[in-house]
């Protein structure tokens, strides 16, 4: 147990497509290693911030889609105090060929299952920070500002987190979205007859001041021993029984039966409080057949433990099993026939 007053804001670039009123969110699964740390009153300078301040507009490729919006930076870490208002910056870039307008807003951020399918609508005690965020529109602070942006332009956006005096202990999570106006995408509308909008967002992982509890445990761990098809996949599930998110690191190493290195991967993923997260590390280029030594390691935060095992994994396809059975059957039949012929020969010689 420890006291923490750190708000960790880790921004993930999201790509969304919305048709009509429906939206599909695609998260790039990956590690959380690209984080930056700042002092109490320091500012993180987003990528492209100079361009935004100077008003510089970059040339856009003619092959780019009409509407393409991007957000940066990827991550930001700040110190947070109850009752204080903290100001941060982010950039929005138009990498498309058309000018458009977009709106900024925040939503809760949570997950609905162990595979971490995201939920941007359900409000919980862990998503209160989504109500603490406002954006500057000129000199005013508003919840849903609207901006116009030219093709190739990068804009610097200022937003604040107004922390209440009475804040809960543990983690807080939200998403800041930049969503384009569907009516601006005239090219897509002419082609499909359906107006589409794009939105990107950054996820806010927050730690408020108060008692912080990190309680991690591995509830499932598996390396296959025998495969007839597919790829080698090491899987595990980690449970977070604490009140704040933490990072779990994973490692898989695969060698041939003779010890030659074939594949390795290291990754890290956040686990939100009161959830279980399943992570699969897959060797996508597993050969058709073979014998392999697989080492899989899961490391929990702090001194909460590590589990590592090495296992011999055999991949033998069904077609090879059938051929092996046919060959063995043929050998057995051949041996039986040879034995019978010898017995018959001995019988004739005896007469």
Question: Looking at residue 82, which CATH number applies to its domain?
Answer: 2.60.40.10
The answer to whether 285 and 264 are in contact (CB under 8 A) is: no
In a domain, 335, yes or no: no
**Paired sense of beta strands 246-256 and 261-271, if any:** antiparallel
User: For the chain, what is the domain count?
Assistant: 2
Residues with Cβ within 8 Å of residue 85, at least 6 apart in sequence: 160, 161, 162, 163
In a domain, 320, yes or no: no
User: To 5 degrees, how large is the angle CA 108–CA 113–CA 118?
Assistant: 35
Q: DSSP secondary-structure letter at 63? A: T
**Paired sense of beta strands 216-222 and 154-162, if any:** unpaired
In a domain, 165, yes or no: yes
Bridge partners of 281?
234
Considering the domain architecture, whether residues 92 and 204 belong to the same structural domain is answered as yes
Residues with Cβ within 8 Å of residue 309, at least 6 apart in sequence: 221, 223, 295, 296
Q: Which of 212, 246, 279 is the last residue of a domain?
A: 212
| Dihedral of alpha carbons 62, 65, 68, 74, sign | negative
Tens-digit pLDDT string for the chain (351 aa): 444 444 444 433 333 333 332 333 333 333 343 333 222 333 334 333 444 443 568 888 888 888 889 988 766 766 677 899 999 998 999 988 889 999 999 999 999 999 999 999 999 989 999 999 999 999 999 999 999 999 999 999 999 999 988 888 888 999 999 999 877 655 444 444 444 568 898 888 888 877 889 999 999 999 999 999 999 999 999 999 999 999 999 999 999 999 999 999 999 999 999 999 999 999 999 999 999 999 999 999 999 999 999 999 999 999 999 999 999 999 999 999 998 888 888 777 776
Q: Which of 212, 229, 249 is the last residue of a domain?
A: 212
pTM of the model: 0.75
d(CA 23, CA 26): 10
């Amino acid at each position: 147990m420890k006291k923490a007053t750190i708000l960790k804001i880790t921004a993930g670039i999201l790509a969304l497509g919305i048709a009509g009123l429906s939206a599909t969110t695609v998260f790039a699964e990956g590690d959380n290693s690209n984080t930056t740390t700042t002092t109490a009153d320091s500012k993180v300078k987003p990528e492209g911030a100079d361009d935004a301040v100077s008003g510089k507009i970059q040339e856009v490729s003619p092959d780019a889609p009409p509407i393409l919006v991007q957000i940066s930076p990827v991550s930001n870490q700040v110190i947070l105090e109850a009752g204080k208002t903290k100001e941060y910056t982010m950039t929005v870039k138009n990498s498309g060929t058309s000018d458009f307008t977009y709106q900024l807003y925040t939503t809760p951020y949570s997950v609905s299952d162990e595979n971490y399918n995201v939920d941007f609508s359900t409000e919980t005690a862990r998503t209160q920070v989504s109500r603490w965020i406002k954006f500057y529109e000129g000199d005013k602070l508003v919840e849903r500002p609207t901006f116009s942006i030219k093709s190739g332009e990068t804009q610097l956006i200022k937003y604040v987190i107004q922390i209440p005096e009475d804040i809960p202990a543990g983690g807080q999570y939200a998403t800041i979205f930049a969503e384009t106006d569907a009516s601006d995408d005239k090219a897509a509308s002419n082609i499909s007859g359906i107006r589409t909008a794009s939105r990107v967002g950054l996820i806010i992982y927050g730690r408020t001041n108060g008692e912080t509890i990190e309680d991690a445990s591995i509830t499932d761990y598996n390396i296959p021993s025998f495969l007839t098809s597919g790829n080698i996949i090491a899987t595990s599930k980690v449970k977070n029984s604490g009140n704040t998110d933490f990072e779990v690191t994973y490692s898989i190493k695969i060698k041939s039966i003779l010890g030659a290195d074939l594949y390795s991967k290291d990754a890290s993923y956040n686990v939100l409080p009161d959830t279980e997260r399943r992570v699969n590390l897959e060797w996508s280029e597993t050969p058709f057949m073979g014998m392999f030594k697989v080492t899989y390691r899961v490391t929990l935060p702090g001194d909460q433990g590590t589990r590592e095992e090495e296992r011999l994994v055999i991949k033998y396809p069904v077609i090879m099993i059938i051929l092996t059975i046919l060959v063995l059957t043929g050998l057995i039949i051949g041996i039986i026939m040879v034995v019978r012929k010898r017995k018959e020969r001995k019988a004739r010689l005896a007469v």
